[in-house]
């Protein structure tokens, strides 16, 4: 009889616990889906095409016509203008226009040619998309 009462008590407790843990199947659960701009971007970022082609507009053409990329080395400034490589002296932090001349590489030794080659590489390396775009 002791075993019967213990078994009956255990089965009753299991029935009560399972009844409390089981949720009704037809209960409506209110869930609020939060759609933020950053969450939506994270979901669709792999499907967004990245436009790597540089823009060619009137504004970019005007900007390129008015700005020249220069490299300063010691007391000289180097730049490329109209497919010609120029050098000029710096006087009091300003470019002295009267010292502007074309660079002649025919009479240079190996060290000077390496220096000029490095400067030309620096002047032309970021030409395609150098307007602040990270490229991502």
C-alpha dihedral sign at 108, 111, 112, 113: positive
Q: What is the pLDDT of residues 73-130, one digit of tens each?
A: 888 999 888 888 899 999 888 888 899 999 888 888 998 889 888 988 888 876 554 4
Q: What is the pLDDT of residues 41-73, one digit of tens each?
A: 888 988 888 777 777 899 988 988 888 888 888
* Secondary structure letter of residue 120 according to DSSP: H
Q: What is the pLDDT of residues 31-48, one digit of tens each?
A: 787 889 998 988 898 888
The angle at the Cα of 79, spanning 78 to 85, to the nearest 5 degrees, equals: 95
- Domain residue ranges of the chain, discontinuous segments joined by +: 70-124
Question: Which ranges of the chain does DSSP label H, i.e. alpha helix?
Answer: 2-21, 37-44, 58-66, 110-124
In order of 34, 82, 120, 129, the CA distances from 68 in angstroms are: 49, 10, 13, 14
């Amino acid at each position: 009889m002791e075993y019967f009462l213990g078994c009956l008590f255990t089965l009753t407790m299991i029935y009560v616990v399972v009844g409390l843990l089981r949720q009704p199947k037809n209960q409506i659960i209110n869930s609020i889906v939060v759609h933020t701009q950053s969450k939506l971007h994270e979901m669709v970022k792999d499907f967004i095409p990245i436009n790597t082609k540089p823009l060619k507009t009137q504004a970019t053409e005007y900007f390129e016509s008015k700005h020249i990329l220069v490299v300063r080395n010691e007391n000289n400034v180097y730049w490329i203008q109209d497919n010609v490589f120029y050098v000029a002296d710096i006087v009091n932090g300003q470019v002295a226009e009267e010292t502007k001349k074309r660079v002649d590489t025919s009479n240079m030794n190996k060290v000077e040619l390496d220096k000029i080659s490095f400067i030309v590489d620096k002047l032309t390396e970021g030409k395609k998309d150098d307007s602040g775009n990270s490229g991502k």
